[in-house]
Structure 1
Amino acid sequence: MRVMVRGLLALAGLLLGTAAWADSQYKLLVFSIPNKYHYEYIPVARDSLEHLAKLHAFEMQWTNDPKTFEGDLKQYAAVMFLNTPGEELNPAQRAAFEAYMRGGGNAIIVHRAAITPPGVWPWYERLVGRRFVIHPMLQTAVVTKADPGFPATFGLPDRWIWSDEYYVTSNPYQVAITPVLRVDERSYDPTKIWPGQHAEPMGPDHPVAWFHSYEKGRVFVTLLGHNVEMYRDPHYLDQLMGGIYWAATGRGEAR
Structure 2
Amino acid sequence: MFSRFRINRVLLAGLTIAVATVAILLPAQRTDATVRALLITGGCCHNYRFQSQALTEGISKSLAIEWTVVHEGGNGTRGQIALYDNPDWAKRYDVVVHNECFADTADETYIRKITEAHKAGVPAVVVHCAMHTYRAATLDDWREFLGVTSRRHDHQSRYPVKIVAPEHPVMKGFRTDWVTPMDELYIVDKLWPNATVLATSKSERDGKEHAVAWVNQFGKARVFGTTYGHSDDTFRDPVFIDLLTRGMKWAVNR
Q: Is the 8 A contact 2:162 2:199 kept in 1?
A: yes
Candidates 149, 173, 177, aligned match of 2:195: 177
Candidates 106, 112, 118, aligned match of 2:123: 106
After superposing the two structures, state which structure 1 stretch, 148-157 or 110-119, moved more. Answer: 148-157
1:25 aligned residue:
34
Question: What is the root-mean-square deviation of aligned Cα atoms in Å?
Answer: 2.5
Q: What is the number of residues matched between the two proteins?
A: 215
Candidates 227, 243, 251, aligned match of 2:231: 227
Match for 2:95: what amino acid?
A: A
Structure 1 residue 156 and structure 2 residue 162: aligned? Answer: no
Q: Is the 8 A contact 2:40 2:97 kept in 1?
A: yes
1:5 aligned residue:
none
TM-score (structure 1 length as normaliser): 0.74
SS of residue paired to 1:157: coil
Deviation at residue 19 of structure 1 after TM alignment: 4.3
- Correspondences of 1:82-231 after superposition (within 5 Å): 82-85=99-102, 88=105, 90-115=107-132, 116-117=134-135, 119-154=137-172, 156-162=174-180, 163-171=182-190, 174-183=192-201, 185=202, 189=204, 191=205, 200-203=206-209, 206-231=210-235
Structure with bigger gyration radius = 1
User: CA, structure 1 residues 28+89, in 2 after alignment: closer, same or farther (shift >3 Å)?
Assistant: farther
Structure 1 residue 250 and structure 2 residue 228: aligned? Answer: no
Deviation at residue 99 of structure 1 after TM alignment: 2.7
Match for 2:30: what amino acid?
A: A
Deviation at residue 158 of structure 1 after TM alignment: 1.0
Report percent identity of matched pairs. Answer: 21
Tell me the distance in 2 between the aligned counterparts of 1:85 and 1:245.
Answer: 26
Q: Is the 8 A contact 1:168 1:201 kept in 2?
A: no
Tell me: higher relative CO, structure 1 or 2? Use CA pairs within 8 A at least 6 residues apart.
Answer: 1
SS of residue paired to 1:75: coil
Tell me the distance in 1 between the aligned counterparts of 2:187 and 2:199.
Answer: 14
Q: Greater strand share, 1 or 2?
A: 2
SS of residue paired to 1:182: strand
Match for 1:178: what amino acid?
A: T
Tell me the distance in 2 between the aligned counterparts of 1:76 and 1:128.
Answer: 18
Match for 2:85: what amino acid?
A: E
Match for 2:184: what amino acid?
A: E
Tell me the distance in 2 between the aligned counterparts of 1:33 and 1:109.
Answer: 13
Tell me the distance in 2 between the aligned counterparts of 1:147 and 1:176.
Answer: 15
Q: Is the 8 A contact 1:136 1:166 kept in 2?
A: yes
Tell me the distance in 2 between the aligned counterparts of 1:174 and 1:226.
Answer: 23
Q: Is the 8 A contact 1:31 1:84 kept in 2?
A: no
User: CA, structure 1 residues 155+146, in 2 after alignment: closer, same or farther (shift >3 Å)?
Assistant: same
Match for 2:50: what amino acid?
A: V
Q: Is the 8 A contact 2:153 2:186 kept in 1?
A: yes
Tell me the distance in 2 between the aligned counterparts of 1:218 and 1:86.
Answer: 23
SS of residue paired to 2:161: strand
Q: Could you list the per-position Cα deviations for residues 31-50 of structure 1 after superposition, in whole angstroms to 9, with x for gaps in the alignment?
A: 11131x21x2x232222233
Tell me the distance in 2 between the aligned counterparts of 1:91 and 1:179.
Answer: 28
